[in-house]
Structure 1
Amino acid sequence: MTFRNDELSGIAILADDLTSAGDGAAPFRQAGHDARILLTTTAGMPGHAVGVSAVDLGSRVLDEEAAASSTWRAARLFAGSELLFKTVDSTLRGHVAAEVRAAWAGSRRRAVVIAPAFPAEGRVTVKGAQYVRGLPVHESDYARDPVHPVRCSDLTVLFPEAVLSQPDRAAELPELIANGDLIVYSAAEDGDLDRLVAAVPRLDDVLWVGSPGLAAALARRCARAAGSAASVPAPARRPLIVVGSANPATRRQLAALRARADVEGVTVSGDPASAVETLRGLTAPVLTLQTPDKRQTPQTARALARSLAAVVQALAEEHRVDALIVTGGETAATVLQILGATGIALLDEPEPGVARGTLLGQLPLPVLIKAGGFGDDAMLLRLCHLIRHPLAPGEHA
């Protein structure tokens, strides 16, 4: 990473992958802030943060020691931010405990509040334990994640020093923060997260740790008059939907999209050149590109992500596609890097956990990114319609 300047203001979001950066920053854009995602592998930091800067540290795919080190350095850099938010996956994938402790040490914040609930997607925290649609996360599909299988649902096991809090005890939060505690907050609905944020007098006393649910609650408290107007992209004539996530939710979404007569695509399982050649010959207005349905080993998954990215690069540079929808954090980061993008200028959050914007860099393509486990079976259908028939933020079809 090539960071400069150790005193930045504004709102900083430290994310462990690209989709987390997007769905952490998007609620602030919705609340009137200028916002962008920065890819640390391709871009040095500016001298001063403007609006909201969400930094993709790429730490979820690192080993624990490297992830903690990267997170500490970023937290130290952004310690002067008015609001510092560390994303964690709402299913607790990744190096959650190591990264949170590293971010706290680097941030020099008085206390930590951990609230990973994302009620809009059925992810709630009950007495310090994380659930997905009624199941403890270690008993859900995320227990079979090929890279970061979730083994523990209980945040008090991950953080034995934690003090538990919940909505009916939110009045205790100022005292717990003054004590310098690490606080795990249980929440089952968005109102619970709003009560948490409202109970904290000074947002800059806290390292905030959570998922899109907490980001949205913080954004509601920090809402402001609209930032600079962002141009709505032109309608896409030939979007490409890129699916690297093996999550069952995404695969159901892809199946619903592929059932349409105006959609054609290919599966990349080896040499990307053959996929490029096949896609060149297709005539449908919507193209899809996917990895095989079955879960892969981490090494194979990374190789497949690189193959997907090579296909996207070929099609984009030949101007055969003019917009992207990408699902899967590692896939999205790999695709954007090979396209020479330095980040994403965010436009809005059209659905919970989905970020819409324009690539910063050599190919300023419109892009929508989402995490693999988000959304109902029709989500990709809706996102495909949106990119082909763009609406301004706040408009409804």
Structure 2
Amino acid sequence: MRPAPSVAPPRVAVLADDLTSAGDGAAPFRRAGRPARVLLSGSPLAGHGQEDGVLAVDLGSRLLDEAGAAARTREAARALSGAELLLKTVDSTLRGHVAAEIRAAREGSGRRAVVIAPAFPAEGRTTRHGVQYVRGVRVDESEFARDPAHPVRTADLARLLPEAVPVDPGRPEELTELLPDGGLFVCSAATDADLDRIVAAAPDHRAVLWVGSPGLAAALARHHARPAADGEAAGELPPAVRPLVAVGSANPATRRQLALLAAEPGAVSAVAADPLRAVDTPVRILHTPHERRADPAELTRLLAASVAALADRDPFDGLVLTGGETAEAVLRALGAHGIDLHDEPEPGIARGTLAGPEDLPRVPVVIKAGGFGDERTLLRLHALLTGARADGYASR
């Protein structure tokens, strides 16, 4: 028996283990015509969003131990079990408490059938025969296996979830036959078309707990697209004159992106707020030290405090945040309870405005997961905030 939800359900609910995953999971639905809000962990679930919209909740569970992560996921799944579409996001490289959170979400939601499809083809993350790859390399043999905070231990979903049944993407009818009896189903996928077939194979989406990365979210959003109502179309966000880029991710891809942005003419890059105050340049960057000898959580806290100090004394009018823990810490330090999504400028990247108390400036913000993008991603996102040509940096 499905438990009664404890809050009025949105049309689409997204449960995520960190902030970037929440934004990634909600952004495709926003692009498909639905209003969307992303909430920080610990924020009350009631009173947010619209009945026909999307509520994506950052559970903050990646920072917890396994038992704590499962408990928080179970509680949120129970509260939002009445949503028409319920998506539990997982990292497309399988970082975090993947198995424990899937089982907890299933228990909390009361949904007997669980479809697990972590592929994100747009970022080179694919699932073949139940094994997760990033650009052709098993994730447990990639740079994500050396992640300092959340190293990947296995790429094999059969090891993570031995009770799950594997499903071949070339036989979607198999999933159609299996779902009514319930169970966990791991779906391999190498393309967006594979994910579309998986989504189309489910006869009743309300009866399924969907588990995946932005690739699955996009497939579900395509299937549940909603034309925007009159007056609902998103306008352009104002261009930023003095934006700030805050980089807390230690992922090598993000550090390469940081190096290119920091090399721009006039760019000022620092690990504390003071060197950036009263600097007359549109390229201001705060980042954690390249040599991470201190506790990563403490470095993130210090970075967030530096952003808040700049907001008080030398305000910025746009933000780029990279790394889920960094984004959450910064938003909390600024007094925000989340973001209202505007669009998804690139796969896996969310853009919106700060959501919070009435006196909180609605600053445009772009959030990117640490491992996403090519070497010029930060250059493009900075250009997007300032209103420069989107291809301005790439043409250099």
Provide the rounded CA distance (Å) in 2 between the counterparts of 1:100 and 1:44.
Answer: 20
Q: Conserved in 1, the CA contact under 8 Å of 2:319 and 2:366?
A: yes
Alpha carbons 2:10, 2:54 under 8 Å: kept: no
8 Å contact from structure 1 (residues 146, 295) kept in 2: no
Deviation at 1:320, TM superposition (A): 2.9
In structure 2, the CA distance between the partners of 1:154 and 1:295, relative to structure 1 (3 Å rule), is farther
What root-mean-square deviation, in Å, do the aligned CA atoms of Structure 1 and Structure 2 show? 1.8
Q: Is the 8 A contact 2:262 2:268 kept in 1?
A: yes
1:173 positional shift: 1.1
In structure 2, the residue matched to 1:112 is 114
Deviations 1:194-213 (A, max 9, x none): 01111112111110000000
Report the equivalent of 2:214.
Answer: 212
Gaps of 5+ in 2: none
Which SS does the other structure have where 2:337 is aligned? Answer: strand
Instruction: List aligned pairs for 1:288-367, cutoff 5 A.
Output: 288-295=285-292, 300-361=295-356, 362-367=360-365
Deviation at 1:230, TM superposition (A): 2.7
Which amino acid in structure 2 is aligned with residue 252 of structure 1?
R
- Structure 1 segment 96-175 matched on structure 2, within 5 A: 96-175=98-177
Measure the CA separation in 2 of the matches of 1:128 and 1:8.
33
Shift in CA distance, 141/296, structure 1 to aligned 2, threshold 3 Å: farther
Match of 1:245 in 2: 249
Secondary structure at the counterpart of residue 331 of structure 2: helix
Distance (Å, rounded) in 1 between the aligned partners of 2:49 and 2:385: 32
Per-residue deviation, 1:281: 4.5
Q: 1:1-397 to 2 correspondence within 5 Å?
A: 5-46=6-47, 50=51, 51-226=53-228, 228-267=232-271, 275-295=272-292, 300-361=295-356, 362-389=360-387
Query: What's the offset of the Cα at 1:258?
Result: 1.0
Could you tell me how far 1:354 is from its partner in structure 2?
Answer: 0.4
Q: Deviations over 1:213-242 (max 9, x none)?
A: 000000000011025233322110001000
The amino acid of 1:377's aligned partner reads E
| Code of the aligned partner of 1:35 | A
Write the distance in 2 (CA, Å) between the matches of 1:247 and 1:47: 33
Counterparts of 1:44 and 1:197, CA distance in 2: 27
Q: In the aligned structure 2, how far is the partner of 1:296 from the partner of 1:211?
A: 31
Deviation at 1:319, TM superposition (A): 4.3
CA contact (8 A) 1:117 1:188 kept: yes
Structure 1 residues 183 and 242: alpha-carbon distance in aligned structure 2, compared to 1, 3 A threshold = same
Q: Deviations over 1:154-191 (max 9, x none)?
A: 00111111111122111111221111120000000111
Q: Deviation digits for residues 87-110 of structure 1, max 9, x if unmatched?
A: 000000000000000000011112
**Cα distance change of structure 1 residues 47 and 387 upon mapping to structure 2, 3 Å threshold:** closer
Q: Distance in 1 between matches of 2:374 and 2:293?
A: 23
Q: What's the secondary structure of 2:345's corresponding residue?
A: coil
Structure 1 stretch displaced more, 236-245 or 194-203:
194-203
Query: C-alpha separation between the residues in 1 aligned to 2:292 and 2:314?
Result: 31
* Aligned sequence identity (%): 60
The one-letter amino acid of 1:162's match is: A
Whether the 8 Å CA contact 1:190–1:213 is kept in 2: the answer is yes
Indicate the SS of the match to 1:235.
coil
Letter in 2 for 1:265: S
Q: Secondary structure at the match of 2:170?
A: helix
What amino acid does structure 2 have at the position aligned with 1:294? E
Please give the TM-score of this superposition, normalised by the length of structure 1: 0.92
Contact 1:234 1:390 in 2 (8 A): no
Query: How far did 1:317 drift?
Result: 2.3
Amino acid at match of 2:275: T
Seen in structure 2, the aligned counterparts of structure 1 residues 296 and 170 have a Cα distance that, compared at 3 Å, is farther
TM-score, normalised relative to structure 2: 0.93
Structure 1 residues 390 and 109, CA gap change in structure 2 (3 angstroms)? farther
Query: Would the alpha carbon gap of residues 296 and 216 (structure 1) be closer, same or farther in structure 2, given more than 3 Å must change?
Result: farther
SS at 2:171 equivalent? helix
Q: SS of the residue aligned with 1:355?
A: strand
Aligned equivalents of 1:162 and 1:296: distance in 2? Answer: 40
8 Å Cα contact 1:42/1:337 also seen in 2: no
CA distance in 1, matches of 2:278, 2:48: 46
